[in-house]
Structure 1
Amino acid sequence: MKSTYQAFPRQSIKRLCGLVKVSRAAYYRWLSNRENPTIDQENEKLKELLRKAYFEMNGTWGYRRITMLINRRYNYHYNLKRIRRLLIKMRLRAVIRRPRHSCTIAHGKNYEPNLLNRNFTANHQNEKWVTDVTYLTYGNGQKAYLSAIKDLYNGEIISYVVSQRNDNPLVMNTIKQAFKLNPTAKPLIHSDRGFQYTSKQYASFTAEHGVIRSMSRVGKCIDNAPMESFWSHYKDEGYYGYEFKTYEELVSSIDWYMYFYN
């Protein structure tokens, strides 16, 4: 049955909307929802899913990633605009990540040019890897170090190692783990100029496996932007706001996050 509200002439609707200071789009949306109460009911259910996802991610995810999570987890096909509109109504806004300004100081002698040259796309798996080390804390300020290698083809973290020491074995174990999982790979691997990546041991191992090495320029952290971005996401989603009393608790949380991220 056709609604009597639609019987108004278009000009009358425009005039009425102007009098009450409501856009015509908002009026028609209200009219549509009024005639289809199931839309409101579905939105209420969706709001609960959004609220759950938002707080599950500690408020760090924006509407794009929340849409991806909802659609994948529940096999839905909600569009970005709908999710964004509901999140705004619920006043759930993503926390802005803190900028990272520090860069690695170059050490050693085995430098390589920046062959990656900020071309962060790859056409197939194991074509381009990026790697880096970041430090974390647990307990009463004790330090731990996380080394990881990321495949630029699909963004997957293919290997990672956690250690209480920032030394050569940390990086060497990470790259050995990567080649154990991908024995035929011959990627271009990009890193900064940290002492582990300019060591003779690292240079010898990569040469032995036919790897092309690439390194960021001094003070140019953006040359390794994909790894910097990953560290930022990891710390916002799985590190900041959490308390790790022991090294084992920290390692367990990293294992969970890597599984979740991949």
Structure 2
Amino acid sequence: MLSQVQNETTYLAIQEIYDEKGCSISELCRFVGIPRSSYYKWLYRKESKNELFNQTLLPLIKDAYEEKYGTLGYRQMTIKLNRENDFHVNQKRIYRLMQILNLKSVCRRKRKSYVKSKPQVTAENVLNRESTADNFGEKWLTDVTEMKYGVGNKAYLSATLDLGDKNIVSFVI
């Protein structure tokens, strides 16, 4: 709600019941537990300058949000509105109005940058891409894999593969 009146929902309910069912306002106010004078003060009050200014800000916020496809948060929205229009609006006001309109910025996650490691020792290429073998134990391949577990812990798995029957001959963790 844009209004800054504390019990406005209660006053609106009283007004709606009075219009529909015709109950007396004094009974409704007594039932809700508010003074009748506060209801009439709310009924005949004028909107404040802040409320009128908020009503002029709402369409500007909606337009700027749709223009940038929902990527603007309340900080960037404040900067954009203050630059394009000749007024100075606080971030808290924009934040509150965006909450009323249920507008939120789309958070983009930062992609992790991975460092490609180079092996310190590279073995000689003896097989020369001939990865077929006829007999068991004729050609063996090995590889080391790093696995991360827990917080900052690493484990290394070294497996030996026989090319003759494609089975793991041995492994060490």
TM-score, length of structure 2 as denominator length: 0.39
Structure number with larger C-alpha Rg:
2
Higher relative contact order, chain-length normalized (CA < 8 Å, sep 6+): 1
Instruction: Report the structure, 1 or 2, having the larger helix content.
Output: 1
